[in-house]
Amino acid sequence: MIFTQSALAGAYTIEMTRMEDERGFFARSYSAQEFAAHGLPADMPECSVSFNSRRGTLRGMHFQAAPHAEDKLVRCTAGAIFDVIVDLRAGSPTLRQWLGTELTSENRRSVFIPKGFAHGFITLSDASEVLYMISVPYAAGFERGVRWNDPALAIEWPTDPVVISARDAAYPLLGATTIA
């Protein structure tokens, strides 16, 4: 696995190292040992899937509040998405900065998202599926978010959303929102 530190402290892009032959390839998409060697959480006890039937579906910008903040490893297993993370950590040198990465079933790239980041994506194709590995069990009532189109963030989405939930559309503007 190839870990590339992003411009946002603690966030990584992860590429699989492929072993190819006439059958295709084999690659490791997660290794607790390699995560630990890079100083990342090695325990990911929860796994979730998001299926999105239509191109232009926007989900985000989500995070879980303390004490249930989550590290996430996100990968697109079908279709394509534009994945966005935003640093909301108080005192971070990259506070309120965002990073966008195209994740597709073809590039098989993953993004590691540390605690304290908001996360969202917009689908670039119909029938897109996203796999999440999560560091802590889900805790209802600790869901939070910031508006996907907050002018303070100025995220450059590659397309306008066609489908967005009422909850995601109504998240507050960033204002003073930061998390530990």
Which residues belong to the active site? 62, 132
User: What is the helix, strand, coil percentage profile of the chain, to 5?
Assistant: 5, 45, 50
- The tokens describing 97, both together, are 């900065």
Residue 33, number of CB atoms within 10 A of its CB: 7
Q: Are 70 and 64 in contact (CB under 8 A)?
A: yes
CA 158-161-163 angle, to 5 degrees, is 150
What is the three-state SS of 135-172? CCCCCCCCEEECCCCCCCCCCCCCCCCCEECHHHHHCC
Helical ranges in 8-145 per DSSP H: 32-37
